[in-house]
Structure 1
Amino acid sequence: MPDSLQASGKVCPQCDRLPPAAEFHRNRRRADGLAHYCKSPAAARSTASRRRRGIGPPKRSAAPVGEGLKWCPDRDQVKPVDEFPRATRSSGRHRYCKPCHHARGRATAQRLYGGAREHHLRRRYGVGEKELLTEQGGVCVIGGGADPQHLNHDHRTGWVRGILCFNCNGCLGQFRGDQSRLAGAITYLRGTTWQRVLIHPGVYQMCSPTRGRPPSPRS
């Protein structure tokens, strides 16, 4: 921020005066590094916006809160600070206790994404379950079973492959996604398919022609 701007500030379009730079919040996205409005009008505009969205004024504890304690607005209870999740805010803790914090998070995920699972998938992988299922026709990509529920991804790159049923997803996990192992398993299955072979009229013998290991004559 230029020294001249730090000293003189700038004109606030809301109150139409020239307050010093100290009366503006910082905003790195703006060229001058200062918010568009000075602090007092900015606070009034923020409050008005919250009221239009149906958000009431913040609740305050009726009684003073002692050292090492914190008040939860949702429960209207004073609890030890350890019962509040850690946060980067100045107090070092979130405003609501852990049960209320988690309940609010689930409610927000339900409202914005339709559920916590959809929110998790979009936050971690950048794609939603409904979108993938639509592309797959609502079935498992491998087995074709209906209503797959297990998202499969490449553990090396983190890229999402698709949504699979429990058995197909577990199979890939057991083979660690190694294509050579999967190819070996396919070769093995094809080579050990025991078949009935006619050796005399009305007489059959079980053998596996692919592997070339007919069973013992005693079998």
Structure 2
Amino acid sequence: MLPAAGFHRNRRRADGLAHYGKSCAAARSTAGRRRRGIVPRKRSAAPVGEGFRRCPGCDQVKPVDEFPRATTSSGRHGYCTPCHDARGQETAQRLYGGTREYHLRRRYGIGEKEFQELPAEQGGVCAVCGTPDPQHLDHDHRTGWVRGILCFNCNGGLGQFRDDQSRPAGAITYLRGTTWQRVLIHPGVYQMCSPTRGRPPSPRS
């Protein structure tokens, strides 16, 4: 039996404490890192100056600003930005076979195989405007569910409209009232009709 001080805090648990004691958690972490082939951090006894810290990856002393921000007590990651990025790419390659597969799985819950199947289901075109070879994955921002593959412009447009159906409907109404329309008045004869709203262009434009 260990006192509460012998456990790390975990706000997700009912008692607010981690399942394993600090010593057991450290041993499990070390064993897990060893199984995954992660080299232990290099620790140096040499002191560093104020505003600097030593990166255990490249073993160089660098300004704190060269370490990525984090939610840790120090506010920074333990590795400098180049080493941090390299470790992330190595992990993505080792666990997922590449960074693209990693990001697709982590953000959208699908892999490269599922991503490639979506355009085929859409006939190889953007699900909104029909532009060939769309490359941008669209998802519901509230549920996270994948909806389809869009071109750059349509994907950005839906993002700007914040998935609110009244916004594109309002945009259509606005365009109809401010854009010159090509209206069929006789078979093969069209007439340009002026918008119901809007100002005429400046003579200098």
Question: When the two structures are superposed, what TM-score results if normalisation uses the length of structure 2?
Answer: 0.60
Query: Counterpart in 2 of 1:6?
Result: none
Unaligned runs of 5+ in 2: 162-166, 194-205
State yes or no: 1:178 paired with 2:168.
Answer: yes
CA shift, 1:59, in A, is 1.2
Query: Counterpart in 1 of 2:136?
Result: 150
State yes or no: 1:163 paired with 2:149.
Answer: yes
Distance change in 2, residues 1:148/1:209 (3 Å): same
Query: Counterpart in 1 of 2:126?
Result: 140
CA shift, 1:55, in A, is 1.8
Report the Cα distance in structure 1 between the residues aligned to 2:105 and 2:63, rounded to whole angstroms: 33
Q: Which amino acid in the other structure matches residue 208 of structure 1? A: Y
CA shift, 1:84, in A, is 1.3
Query: Counterpart in 2 of 1:52?
Result: 35
SS in 2 for 1:25: strand
Check the 8 A contact 1:106/1:116 in 2, yes or no.
Answer: no
SS in 2 for 1:58: coil
Query: Counterpart in 1 of 2:198?
Result: none
State yes or no: 1:92 paired with 2:82.
Answer: no
Q: Which amino acid in the other structure matches residue 162 of structure 1? A: G
Q: 2:25 aligned to 36, 42, 51, which one?
A: 42
CA shift, 1:152, in A, is 4.8
* Aligned residue runs from structure 1 range 1-219, under 5 A: 10=1, 19-30=2-13, 32-61=15-44, 63-109=46-92, 111-112=95-96, 114-116=98-100, 119=103, 123=107, 126=108, 128=110, 130=112, 131=114, 133-136=116-119, 137=121, 138-152=124-138, 161-166=147-152, 178-179=168-169, 181-182=171-172, 191=183, 196=188, 207-208=189-190
Distance change in 2, residues 1:79/1:113 (3 Å): same
CA shift digits 1:98-136 (9 cap, x unpaired): 23223433444455384359727953xx45584455234
Distance change in 2, residues 1:62/1:168 (3 Å): same
Report the Cα distance in structure 1 between the residues aligned to 2:83 and 2:185, rounded to whole angstroms: 59
Q: CA RMSD in A?
A: 4.4
Percent identity, aligned pairs only, is 60
Number of equivalences: 179
CA shift, 1:67, in A, is 2.1
Q: Which amino acid in the other structure matches residue 119 of structure 1? A: H
SS in 2 for 1:57: coil
Check the 8 A contact 1:140/1:147 in 2, yes or no.
Answer: yes
Question: When the two structures are superposed, what TM-score results if normalisation uses the length of structure 1?
Answer: 0.57
Query: Counterpart in 2 of 1:16?
Result: none
Distance change in 2, residues 1:164/1:32 (3 Å): closer
Unaligned runs of 5+ in 1: 1-9, 11-18, 197-206, 212-219
Q: Which amino acid in the other structure matches residue 46 of structure 2? A: A
Distance change in 2, residues 1:165/1:102 (3 Å): same
